[in-house]
Amino acid sequence: MRILFVDDEADILELIEIALMTEDDLDLTFAPSGIEAIRRIEEEKFDIIMLDVMMPPPNGMEVLRYARSMADLNGSIIVMCTARTSPEAEQEMRALGANHILHKPFKPLGLASYLRGLV
């Protein structure tokens, strides 16, 4: 299962990498910014994209909009990672094509079972 993690916090990415290091079936890719995420999405195809919302531009919403505009990415599951926001914002994310919303803070150790549950 190919998974792309997008977050501007390097610590978070590293933590996720350590936490999921033992999971052999998960093929992990990390992008530290929206630009990098878009570049990766253009190059490869991922089963799951974990997208942080609050990032320096382009932020998660913009990346999401871009990803959904690419026809060959329609099969990907996109999970928006966000601190608790308003229902309107969540509704907007779903309208833009987000499949799930993962509320921060999440437990890195619980991520593996969460990811498997999505597929």
Partner 1 sequence: MSTLELSKGMPDRLPARSGFRFYAFIATLVAIFFLGMAALIASDYRRYATRAELQLGHFAELYSQAVDSSLAIANLEMEKVLGLLPDNAFEGTRWVDDDYSNWIRGEIAKIQQIDSFVLLNPQGRVIWATAQGLVGQNLSDREYFKKAKLLDTGRFAVDVPILARGSGRRLTPMAWPLRDEDGELRGVAASSLGEAYFEDLLNLEEMQDGLHVEIITANGEPAFVSDVPPEVAIFSATRRIPSIGLEATVSMSRAMAMQGFWQRTIVIVLVATGLFITALGAAIQARKRSVLLTESLWRSEFDRRRINAAKTEFDTIFDSVGDGIIVFDETGSLRRANLRARALLDVSNDAQAVQRIRGLIPALSRMTADEEVHRLSLQDGDDPEAEIPIQCRVMRLHLHGEDIAYCVLEDVGSQERLVAARAAFITSVNHELRTPLTSLSGALDILQARFAEAMPEGAAKLITMASRNADRLLVLVNDILTLQAIDQKQLNITVKPVDVRHALNEAVTTNSSYGSAREVRLVVSQPEIEAHVLADTTRLQQILSNLISNAFKYSPKGGQVVIGAECQGDKVRFFVRDDGPGIPATGRGQLFERFTKPIHSRKVQASGTGLGLAITQELVIRQGGEIDFATRSAEDGEEPSGTEFFFTLPRADAQA
97 torsion bin: left (phi>0), alpha (psi -120 to 50), beta (else):
left
Taking each helix axis from N to C end, the angle separating 111-118 and 10-20, rounded to the nearest 10 degrees, works out to 80
Q: Are strands 77-82 and 100-103 parallel, antiparallel or unpaired?
A: parallel
Of 41 and 55, which has the nearer Cβ to partner 1? 55
- Minimum distance of partner 1 from residue 117's CB (angstroms): 6
Stretch that binds partner 1, among 40-48, 57-65, 68-76, 97-105 (CB under 8 A): 97-105
Report in angstroms how near the CB of residue 37 gets to partner 1 at its nearest. Answer: 18
Instruction: Give how many residues touch partner 1 by CB under 8 A.
Output: 26
Contact predicate 6/49, CB 8 Å: yes
Binding site for partner 1 (CB under 8 A): 9, 11-12, 15-16, 18-19, 54, 83-88, 90, 103-110, 113-114, 117
